[in-house]
Amino acid sequence: MSCGVLAIAEQVNGVFRKVTYEALSEGRVIADGLGCSLSVAVLGSGIKNNSESLGKYGAERILVADDAALEEYMTDTYTNVIAGIVTREKPCVIILGASSRGRDLAARLSARLDAPLAMDCVAVRLDAGNVVVTRPMYGGKILAEIMLEGEPRIIAIRPNSMKIAESQKTGVVEIIVVDKGSTDLKFIEKKLDTGKVELTEADVVVSGGRGMGGPDYSAIEKLAGIFGGAVGASRSAVDEGWRPHSDQVGQTGKVVSPNLYIACGISGAIQHLAGMSSSKVIVAINKDPEAPIFAKADYGIVGDLFEIAPLITEEIKKVKGL
């Protein structure tokens, strides 16, 4: 088996996504298990200086493709460049974050390289040199262990599922010359709210459902804010037009795995549970003592969320000494 693990970094305006560190840390564990080295590919424009920092997550080599044409993520240019790196480096494993961009790239790459792909992995283990991943299927109703056969094995990891570990190693930056190939896609514009905490990466998510009764989410925004967390919503709240589609948690929305998930005025439909039941601790606030969400919550409070949520916010302030 050829060897070497290649992680793919994801950066936006020079800032690495948290899942990049998760992919590197897990990549390090795999590389150690296989007895091989870990490299990381960083694509972008003007990103050389920021890239050095990736060494401390275990990458021996930091391959930087710095090119104005790589400023924005475009499926075709990025696939061309990564495929070029793969041809040269011949990694046996490629690991990256299953973000919207990571999934797009991983899927295209899998077909380009005729390589096995497992999306949204929550665990990876080695079994006699074979790579076995665990990934949820059927909206998390089932966990599958999958063996990947053929190389390179592409592993896209679900954000917030794997530990970040710093390492003693320091990486060496190599500027690489890349072939961008031909491209069809044209970037027009982007509209990003960079101040907003990304739901899938947040340590704390506070979600509001139909029980919010309207678009005023300030009570739970304050609660989320005190943790530096993100605000989510049930599909009913999104359908009402109270929250944008990007806030929807569930089987047809985002899957989140925060340390703490607080469900406010959410009944606990199976499609909602599919999006949050892998959270470490779940708290439910609902005025109906029979609400199904209580059967899945670690802590439940029966009561009016508009009364309870602000009181919790005040209590946490006290505990945190704010």
Partner 1 sequence: MEVIVLLKQVPSTESFVGISENGLSVKTDDVKWVINPYDEFAVEEALRVKEAHGGSGSVTILSVGTEKAVEAIRTALAMGADKGILISDSAAYNCDGLQTAKILAAAIKSLPFDLIIAGQRAVDGDNYMVGSAVAELLKIPAITMVMKESIADRKITCSRTVEGGMVVIEAPLPALITTQRGLNEPRYASLPGIMKAKKKPLEIKSLKDIGLDSAGTGAPKTKIISLKYPPERKGGRMITGETAADKARALVKALHEEAKIV
Ligand X SMILES: Cc1cc2nc3c(=O)[nH]c(=O)nc-3n(C[C@H](O)[C@H](O)[C@H](O)COP(=O)(O)OP(=O)(O)OC[C@H]3O[C@@H](n4cnc5c(N)ncnc54)[C@H](O)[C@@H]3O)c2cc1C
Residues forming the site for ligand X (CB under 6 A): 209-211, 234-237, 248, 250-253, 265-267, 269, 271-272, 275, 285-288, 291, 304-306
Among partner 1, ligand X, none, the one that 297 touches (CB under a kind-dependent 5 to 8 A) is partner 1
Q: Per CB under 8 A, which of residues 16..35 are in contact with partner 1?
A: 17
Among partner 1, ligand X, none, the one that 267 touches (CB under a kind-dependent 5 to 8 A) is ligand X
Among ligand X, partner 1, none, the one that 28 touches (CB under a kind-dependent 5 to 8 A) is none
6, with CB counted inside 10 A (0-12, 13-18, 19+), is: buried
Identify the residue whose tokens are 């990381």.
Answer: 40
- Residue 90's CB is within 10 A of a number of other CB atoms, namely 13
CA of 12: how far to CAs of 17, 20, 46, 72, 269, in Å? Answer: 7, 11, 12, 8, 35
**Token representation of residue 27:** 């990549």
- For residue 111, the minimal CB distance to partner 1 (Å) is 4
Among partner 1, ligand X, none, the one that 90 touches (CB under a kind-dependent 5 to 8 A) is none
Nearer to ligand X, 45 or 271 (CB): 271
Strand 117-121 versus strand 299-302 pairing type: unpaired
Among partner 1, ligand X, none, the one that 211 touches (CB under a kind-dependent 5 to 8 A) is ligand X
- For residue 171, the minimal CB distance to partner 1 (Å) is 25
Do 248 and 238 form a contact (C-beta atoms < 8 A)?
yes
Out of 47, 74, 256, 264, which residue is the one contacting partner 1 (CB under 8 A)?
Answer: 74
Question: Which of 49, 54, 59 shows the shortest CA–CA distance to 10?
Answer: 54
Q: Does 11 sit near partner 1 (CB under 8 A)? A: no
Residue count (the chain)? 322
Among ligand X, partner 1, none, the one that 291 touches (CB under a kind-dependent 5 to 8 A) is ligand X
Nearer to ligand X, 114 or 290 (CB): 290
Do 164 and 57 form a contact (C-beta atoms < 8 A)?
yes
Q: Per CB under 8 A, which of residues 142..201 are in contact with partner 1?
A: 142-150, 184-194, 196, 198, 200-201
- For residue 298, the minimal CB distance to partner 1 (Å) is 4
Do 47 and 14 form a contact (C-beta atoms < 8 A)?
yes
Around 121, how many Cα atoms within 13 Å sit in the side-chain half-sphere? 30
Q: Does 294 sit near partner 1 (CB under 8 A)? A: yes
